[in-house]
């Protein structure tokens, strides 16, 4: 008998659409494993489930905090645990859906999060270095002590980069090494993790570019303008996510809209590659390739796998 069931994969692979179909088939509710969809007001750029999609299946960990609130992995674990207990208490099944690899790892294993307390003096030191020498400098320093973390953390995600440095300074062990230890000591309860992907990578990249075009048509620029007008500054963690930082760069005049969109498409492709690298490193993931198949066909295929795992 399996414990957790998760649907993972790169951005734009179709996780939400397939997840809703699976939730309907198994009387399940979705626990989002997405690190940005937790923020209220960040809708278009996060490809957040629409009102219609949220009516078709219940989602948890979506739209639960304001954009200026700090949100940690520990916060996510606590919120997900509460959601899971609520779902089970009503006789329904939790279904984890998302592409944030660390969230999926935390939700499907007994992930022991480093308990290094915040060191504000340390953080301020590195923030100053970032201001003086650029985010690239801090990222390069991180790469010297923790190359896997540097490969995983975007150069502009300065808060996560500094946190990884902070963990190393506080423990003498890299964040990546601590994550590897967690993988080795994962709980024995098996999880069924299904990964969505395409054999032909060009299909995924085409879907990414189409998604970005749709975001622009839906009003991503106006959404970011409204966020900035409401006082949510460009340096917030939420505003440094894909799409939002790109629109901020355009709105402050650092690049044209066309350049911003092209950069967003490129960075999203790179992000998808990093997601695939992460999930391919998890030997629990069972890959389902979507080339030439409808969402319904994919859901039927996965539902058969889930049914066999639930009733061995």
pLDDT digits (tens, 9 = 90+) for 42-53: 999 999 999 999
Which DSSP state fits 65?
B
Percent residues over pLDDT 90 in the chain: 75
CATH number of the domain that residue 133 is part of: 1.10.20.140
Strand partners, 31: 60, 96
Q: In angstroms, how far is the first alpha carbon of the chain from the final one?
A: 7
> Do 173 and 197 lie in a common domain?
no
Residue 1 has pLDDT above 70, yes or no: no
Percent residues over pLDDT 70 in the chain: 94
> Do 203 and 279 lie in a common domain?
yes
> Do 287 and 217 lie in a common domain?
yes
Residue 180 has pLDDT above 80, yes or no: no
pLDDT of 154 reads 86
Q: Could you tell me which of 240, 292, 289 has the C-alpha nearest to residue 267?
A: 240
pLDDT of 259 reads 98
> Do 87 and 192 lie in a common domain?
yes
Residue 92 has pLDDT above 90, yes or no: yes
pLDDT of 189 reads 57
Judge whether 22 and 303 are in contact, CB under 8 Å: yes
> Do 11 and 81 lie in a common domain?
yes
CATH number of the domain that residue 14 is part of: 3.40.50.300
Backbone angles phi, psi at 53, to 5 degrees: -70, -40
Domain that holds residue 174: 120-180
Long-range own/partner contacts, residues 302-305 (CB < 8 A, 24 or more apart):
302/7, 302/18, 302/22, 302/194, 303/22, 303/25, 303/26, 305/192, 305/194
Report pTM. 0.79
Q: How far is CA 99 from CA 46, 218, 309, in A?
A: 12, 22, 22
Residue finishing a domain among 131, 153, 180? 180
> Using CB atoms within 10 A of its CB, is residue 70 exposed (0-12), middle (13-18) or buried (19+)?
exposed
> Do 137 and 63 lie in a common domain?
no
Backbone angles phi, psi at 71, to 5 degrees: -135, 115
Query: For the chain, what is the domain count?
Result: 2
> Do 172 and 74 lie in a common domain?
no
Structure tokens at 141: 């320093």
* H-run or E-run covering 228: helix 220-229
pLDDT of 73 reads 85
pLDDT in tens, 123-178: 999 999 999 999 999 999 999 999 988 998 888 888 889 988 888 888 888 888 87
């Amino acid at each position: 008998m399996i414990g957790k069931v998760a649907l993972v994969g790169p951005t734009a692979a179709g996780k939400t659409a397939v997840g809703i179909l699976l939730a309907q088939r198994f009387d399940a509710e979705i626990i989002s494993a997405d690190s940005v969809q937790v923020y209220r007001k960040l809708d278009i750029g996060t490809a957040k489930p629409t009102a219609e999609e949220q009516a078709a299946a219940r989602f948890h960990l979506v739209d639960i905090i304001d954009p200026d609130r700090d949100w940690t992995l520990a916060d996510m674990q606590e919120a997900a645990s509460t959601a899971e207990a609520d779902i089970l208490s009503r006789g329904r099944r939790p279904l984890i859906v998302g592409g944030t690899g660390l969230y999926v790892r935390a939700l499907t294993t007994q992930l022991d999060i480093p308990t290094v307390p915040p060191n504000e003096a340390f953080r301020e030191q590195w923030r100053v270095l970032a201001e003086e020498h650029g985010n690239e400098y801090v990222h390069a320093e991180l790469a010297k002590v923790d190359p896997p973390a540097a490969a995983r953390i975007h150069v502009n995600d300065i808060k996560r980069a500094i946190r990884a440095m902070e963990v190393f300074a506080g423990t003498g062990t890299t964040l990546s090494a601590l994550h590897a230890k967690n993988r080795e000591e994962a709980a024995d309860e098996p999880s069924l993790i299904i990964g969505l992907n395409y054999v032909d990578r060009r299909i995924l990249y085409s879907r990414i570019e189409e998604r970005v075009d749709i975001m622009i048509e839906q009003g991503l620029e106006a959404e970011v303008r409204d966020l900035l007008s409401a006082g949510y500054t460009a340096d917030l963690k939420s505003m440094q996510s894909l799409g939002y930082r790109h629109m901020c760069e355009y709105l402050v005049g650092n690049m044209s809209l066309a350049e911003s969109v092209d950069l967003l498409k490129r960075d999203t492709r790179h992000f998808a590659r990093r997601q695939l690298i992460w999930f391919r490193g998890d030997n629990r993931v069972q890959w389902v390739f979507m080339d030439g198949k409808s969402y319904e066909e994919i859901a039927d295929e996965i539902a058969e796998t889930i049914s066999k795992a639930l009733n061995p």
